[in-house]
Chain A
Amino acid sequence: MIEILQQIINGMAIGGVYVLIALGLTTVFGILGIAHFAHGSVSMFGGYLTFFLVVMWGLPLALAILIALVVGFLLGVLIELLAYRPVRNANHINAFIVALGLTMMVEGLNLEFFGHEQVVIPTDFSRVFNIGGVTIPELRLYVILAAALLIAAMTIFVEKTKTGQAIRAVAENRDAAILMGVNVNTIPLVVFSISTALGVCAGVMVGALFAIAPGIGEGLVVKGFAVLILGGLGSIPGAVVGGLVLGITEALAAGFISSAYKDVIAFVAMILVLLVRPQGLMGKA
C-alpha cells in the first residue's frame, strides 16, 4: 500500500510537468489550430539554458530561470512570426509539417549550443520528507506545488482577465472576435509567450527532476499530446486529469511492471482510452 502511495506521489510530480506542457499545447491549438510540435524542444531549450546559466555562469537558479523565460519567450514569438504566421491560412497539414521542421531545427540548435551530453540542473533542495512511511524528496514536492500554482494562475488568467477573455473568444469564433474588436494579430503572440513560459518551466522541472538530453523534448511533446487526447481537447480540467492519469500510470508501471516499458504502457493506456472514449476522459461527446 505504501509502495503504491509512493509511486502515486512520484507520478504526480511528472504528471504536473505533463500538465504544464499540455496546457501550452492546448492554448496554441485553440487559437491557431496548430499542433505546436516544437513545443517540447523549445521547453528543453529553456531547461538547457537554465542549466548553462547556473553551471557555467554561476547565476542563482531563480535568476537563471527568469532569463530562460525571457529568451524562451523571444524564441516563441520568433517561431510564431516567422514560421506559423505564413501558413496560418494554408491547410492544416502544411502547418503541421512546418511544426515538424521547426522541431528538427530547435533540436539541432540545442545540439549545437549545448552538446550531446545529458545534463541535470543542480538544486539545493536535497532534503527528504517522510510522511507516514511515504518519502517525498523536497524537490519533488516543490515541483508539484509549483505546477499547481502555475495551473491555477493559468486558469485565473484565461477565465478572469480581459486578455484571457479575448483568447477564449478567438478560440471560440475567430470572425466574431474580430468584429468585437479583438486584435487577432497580437493574440497569437500573447498565447505563444504564455505557452512558451509554461514550457520553459516544465523544461526546468524535467532538468532538475530527471535530466535533459537530446530527444527528450520529442518524447515530452508526445506525452503532452497524449495528455490532451486522454483528457479531452481544449479543457483545462481535462488536461489536469489527463496529465495526472498519465503520470501516475507511468509511475505505477515503472514501479511494478518494468521501467523500460513505462512509456509503452502509458501509450497503450492512451490508445485504450481512445477506443472507449474518443472525446477524452473529460471531453464532451
Chain B
Amino acid sequence: MRWNGKTLLWALALVGFILLPQLITVKYYLHLSILALCWVIAAQGQNLIQGYTGYVSIVQAGFMGIGAYSTALMGLHYDLPVWLTILLAPCVTAVFAVLTGYPSLRVKGHYFAVVTLAFNLVIFIVLMNWHDLTQGEAGITGIPKPGGKDSWLNWRDRGTYYYFVLSIAILMTGLAALIVRSRIGQTLIAIRQNEDLVGAIGIAAWKYKLFAFVTSAMYAGLAGAIYAHYQSFINPEIFGVAQSLDAILAVIIGGSGTIAGPVIGAFFVVFLPEYLRFADSFRLILYGLVLVLATIFMPRGIVGVAGDLWAKVKGKPS
C-alpha cells in the first residue's frame, strides 16, 4: 500500500473514530454516533448496488427490518446466542433478496427500483399485520444485548457498544473495498457504465447484478440486527420506505461509487435531522430539496467535491 494522502486521511479518520467516545461529552451524541455507524453498514451495502452497479434499490430499510426481526425472533423463540443470531440475520435476509432479486433484476433501470420499492411496502405491511409473529405496531421488546450475563464486557455501556459497531463497520467497509477492487467489483462498474457491452463480451450480467443486490441486502440485514440488539426494541416504523430513501440519500450526499462516500453520508443523514429540528413536513421538503439540488449540482457528492478541491489545491486539473 502506498503511503499517500488518501491513506493518511483514512488513518486519521480511523484514529478519530477510535477517540470519538473520549471526545464526546454529551451521551446523546454517542447514541447518534452508534446509529450513524449502523447506517454506515447499510449505506455501504446500498452503495454496492446503487453507486457501483447503477441500480437504485429502494428496499434497504426493509432488509434492515428483516435482519432486525430475524435476529430478535430467533433469539427469543429458539434461545440462540446473540452472536449466532447476528450472524444468521444477514443469511435470512439473503434468502429474501434472492427471491425478490431474481425476478426484479429481469427488468431494467427504473422498474427494478419500483419492484424493490413494492417489496419494501410488502415487508412493511407484513411486519405491521402479522401480529402473531411480529406483534404488529407495538413491536418487540426485550431483545438481549450481546455477551449474555457473565460477559467480561459491560454491553449495557454505550461506549462498549460503540466499539463493537465501529469494528463491524470497519470490517464491512474494508470488505466493500475488497469487493470493489476484485474482478467482480470491476464487472459491477462495467455494468453501470455499459450493461449491453458487458453482455456482448459474454459476461452473464444478471449473475453479477444478483450478487450485488444480495450482498447489499446482507449488509442491510447485518445493520438491522446490530440496531435491534442496540435498541433492545424494534417496531416496523423505522423499516419503511422513507428510511430506504435515507439510505439512497446517504449514498448520493456522501458520494456514490466511492468507499468513503457512504461513511460521510450516513453520519450526514443521522445528524442532519438533529440539527434541523423542524416539523416533520418541513424536514421532508428540505430533505427532498437537498436530494434534488445535490443530484443536479454535485452528482458526485461530498467526496467528489472534496476531491476536486484537493486537486485544485495541488494544482492538478481534475
Mutual binders A and B:
yes
Using CB atoms and an 8 Å cutoff, list the residues of chain A in contact with chain B. 29, 35, 83, 86-87, 90-94, 96-98, 100-109, 111-112, 218-219, 222, 225-226, 228-229, 260-261, 263-264, 267-268, 270-271, 274-275, 278
A90 touches B121 (CB 8 A): no
Complex: A74 Cα to B280 Cα, angstroms: 25
A98-B291, A260-B129 are known contacts; what are 19 more A-B pairs with Cβ within 8 Å? A35-B114, A83-B296, A86-B296, A90-B299, A96-B109, A97-B56, A98-B292, A98-B296, A101-B288, A108-B284, A225-B111, A229-B107, A229-B111, A261-B126, A263-B122, A267-B118, A268-B122, A271-B115, A274-B107
Interface pairs (16), CB distance under 8 Å: A86-B296, A94-B299, A96-B109, A97-B56, A103-B288, A108-B285, A108-B286, A109-B285, A112-B285, A226-B114, A261-B126, A267-B121, A271-B115, A274-B106, A275-B103, A275-B106
A111 touches B281 (CB 8 A): yes
Using CB atoms and an 8 Å cutoff, list the residues of chain B in contact with chain A. 50, 54, 56, 58, 100, 102-104, 106-107, 109-111, 113-115, 117-119, 121-122, 125-126, 129, 241, 245, 248, 252, 280-292, 295-296, 299
| Nearest CB in chain B: distance from A36 CB, A | 10
A83 touches B282 (CB 8 A): no
Our pick among A98, A222, A229, A271 for the contact of B121 (Cβ within 8 Å) is A222
Our pick among B117, B283, B295 for the contact of A94 (Cβ within 8 Å) is B295
A222 touches B118 (CB 8 A): yes
| Closest residue on chain A to residue B289 by CB atoms | A105
In the complex, chain B residues whose CB is within 8 Å of the CB of A29: 110
B104 touches A104 (CB 8 A): no
B104 touches A271 (CB 8 A): yes
Chain A, interface SS category: helix
A226 touches B118 (CB 8 A): yes
In the complex, chain B residues whose CB is within 8 Å of the CB of A268: 122
A263 touches B56 (CB 8 A): no
A104 touches B113 (CB 8 A): no
| Nearest CB in chain B: distance from A281 CB, A | 14
| Closest residue on chain B to residue A270 by CB atoms | B118
Complex: A226 Cα to B115 Cα, angstroms: 8
| Closest residue on chain B to residue A229 by CB atoms | B111
A101 touches B289 (CB 8 A): yes
In the complex, chain A residues whose CB is within 8 Å of the CB of B121: 219, 222, 263, 267
- A92-B109, A225-B111, A278-B107 in contact; A101/B295 too (CB < 8 A)? yes
In the complex, chain A residues whose CB is within 8 Å of the CB of B114: 35, 222, 225-226, 229
B288 touches A108 (CB 8 A): yes
In the complex, chain A residues whose CB is within 8 Å of the CB of B126: 261, 264
A111 touches B291 (CB 8 A): no
In the complex, chain A residues whose CB is within 8 Å of the CB of B295: 87, 94, 97-98, 101
Our pick among B107, B292, B296, B299 for the contact of A105 (Cβ within 8 Å) is B292
Complex: A104 Cα to B295 Cα, angstroms: 14
- A93-B54, A104-B245, A271-B100 in contact; A112/B282 too (CB < 8 A)? yes
A97 touches B252 (CB 8 A): yes
A35 touches B110 (CB 8 A): yes
In the complex, chain A residues whose CB is within 8 Å of the CB of B103: 271, 274-275
